[in-house]
Every structure is written in structure tokens, then in C-alpha cells.
Amino acid sequence: MKKPFIAGNWKMNPPISAGIELAKELKKSLFDFRDVEIVLIPPFTHLYLVKKEIEGTKIKLGAQNMHWEEKGAFTGEISPLMLKEIGCSYVIIGHSERRKYFGENDETVNKKARSALLHGLSPIICIGETLEEREKGITMKVVENQLRASIKGISEEEILKTVIAYEPVWAIGTGRNATPEQAEEVHSFIRKILREIYGIEKSNYVIIIYGGSVTMENSYFLLKMKNVDGFLVGGASLKGDSFKGIVENGLRAWKEKGGEIC
Ligand code: PGA
């Protein structure tokens, strides 16, 4: 069974006090949204307090990164066991900002995704082309390579617990979102590859979300697309009313396109 998936990636924002206020506000306004999988993904330092705020609601908690090892001499890293212990259900793996600034590559993404699954966390695996790659006409090749490498060794059962986020790098934080048609083109291509690997039935249930300048205004049109199952929202997730608007518009689009709700 599948329902729309909408996650707010707070990145390195806001300060803890404001983050708690935001979680409080969202708890109030999103309390009733049982038909959407809503995930808040604050910085590590906020996780414990945000978890306390959303306790007793359907809102889930996620982290922005993790190491693949359980413990040890890895200064500055956070392990999957720690994320589980603090109450995370999800973890972003391979966000383009991590690939660009912190040397993440398909190999580390794969290690992290498999480790997350092994420890009962659902990875949100990010893939997507740069502007240069899009202009060269190699978007599909890039997406295919990243996808295949990232999910290598992930079983049929595990892929159902994995979220694939298509995030064109040129659309992240730029105010220039992919058009619904551009997003659908890549999402249906991702679904096709998943079909080849996992078969039709399983791949239909894999959640494929879009990220890159999602707003209250464009969320309805993007989620109307057949293979767009939700969003990874950056900037617009930092304001309670805009994140709520994205959830509302997304759910409306999902219902109108006849998406399944469990
Ligand atoms: P944005 O970020 O919504 O601010 O473009 C999306 C993301 O990086 O996940």
C-alpha cells in the first residue's frame, strides 16, 4: 500500500529554539494528516527535542546523514544505531550537497543505504543531474548510473522500505523547479529501471519523490504526475504555513489522480 510522502529537509537551519517552535506549529497544523507520510528532518542537534514534540502524532523523524558503521573511532560521525535510538525512521543518503561538498559518491551512498536498512532505517536516496549534465543531454544516463550503483545489493523486500528522491541539482535552492513534465519523465524512467530489477509489482510500490524548489504553488501540479509520489522539501519546509500548504495541495493532487491510500 502506498500513500504520498512529504519530507522537510531543514538542512543546517534553523537554531534549536526556532526549530522546536516550528515542530510545535507543525504538530498542531498537521495532526490530522493520516493519509500522508510526513517526515521532519532537522539537524542532528535538534533530533531529540523535535522527537519529543511530535510524540503521539503520525509525524515521523528523519536525519540528514549517517555513517555506515555502528560505532568506533570516526570523529564527527553519527551511526545508524544512534539514529534508531533517538527515534528516527528515515535518513537522507547522498544528498547532492553531501556529494558536492563532502565527497559522497555512489559507493558510500550504497554502503550507507544498506547499513540504514540493516538497522531498520528507511534510506531516502538522492539522485539527480547537474545543469551541465542536463544541457549535455545525459540526464537519463547520470540518473541510471547513480540509481543502479546506489541500490546495488538491496533486496526486493528492502526496496519497499527505500525512498528514491529525484533531485535535479539545478533545481535545488534556485527557485527554478523542474516542470511537472520534466519530473515525470525522469520518475517514470526510474520506475522502469526498478521494474527491470525488482519486477512490476514491487516497483509500483516504491516511493519516488521529487525535490528542488518545491513550493505551495507548484506542489499540486508536480504531485498530479503519475510517478511523483511526494517531495523532499528544503527552503519551503522552514515555514509552518508553506509546509502545511504543500502537504494539503499534495494530498489533493494524490486523491484526484486516484493514488492509493492505506
Ligand atoms: P529546496 O531544497 O526545496 O530548497 O530546493 C530541496 C532539497 O535540497 O532537498
Give the cell for residue 147: 540509481
**Distance between Cα 72 and ligand 1 center (Å):** 32
Residue nearest (by alpha carbon) to ligand 1 atom 7? 234
* pTM of structure: 0.97
CA–CA separation, 195 and 203 (whole Å):
5
| Catalytic residue list contains 119 | no
Report the length, in residues, of the chain.
262
Residue 261 belongs to some domain of the structure:
no
Tell me which of 172, 174, 242 to substitute to probe ligand 1's pocket, judged by most ligand atoms within 8 Å of the beta carbon. Answer: 172
- Tell me the CATH number at 41: 3.20.20.70
| Catalytic residue list contains 95 | yes
The amino acid occupying position 249 is N
Tell me which of 174, 209, 231, 233 to substitute to probe ligand 1's pocket, judged by most ligand atoms within 8 Å of the beta carbon. Answer: 233
CA 247 from centre of chain: 14
Residue 25 belongs to some domain of the structure:
yes
Q: Which pLDDT score, from 0 to 100, does residue 261 have? A: 58
Question: Which of 37, 53, 67, 95 is an active site residue?
Answer: 95
Per residue of the chain (262 residues), what is the pLDDT tens digit?
789 999 999 999 999 999 999 999 999 999 778 899 999 999 999 999 999 999 999 999 999 999 999 999 999 999 999 999 999 999 999 999 999 999 999 999 999 999 999 999 999 999 999 999 999 999 999 999 999 999 999 999 999 999 999 999 999 999 999 999 999 999 999 999 999 999 999 999 999 999 999 999 999 999 999 999 999 999 999 999 999 999 999 999 999 999 875 4
DSSP letter for 178, please.
P
Q: Which pLDDT score, from 0 to 100, does residue 259 have? A: 83
Residue 262 belongs to some domain of the structure:
no
Q: Which pLDDT score, from 0 to 100, does residue 209 have? A: 98
CA–CA separation, 131 and 136 (whole Å):
9
CA–CA separation, 157 and 54 (whole Å):
28
Residue 192 belongs to some domain of the structure:
yes
CA–CA separation, 184 and 209 (whole Å):
10
Domain range for 64 is 5-256
* Residue 63 and residue 39 in contact, taking contact as beta carbons nearer than 8 Å: no
Give the cell for residue 215: 513550493
User: What does 55-88 look like in DSSP terms, one character per residue?
Assistant: TTSS-EEEES---SSSSSS-TT---HHHHHHHT-
The count of domains in the chain is: 1
Q: Relative to the CA of 237, which ligand 1 atom is closest?
A: 3
- Report the alpha-carbon angle 192-197-198, nearest 5: 95
- Residues framing ligand 1 (Cβ under 6 A): 9, 167, 172-173, 211-214, 232-236
Question: Which of 97, 129, 167, 184 is an active site residue?
Answer: 167
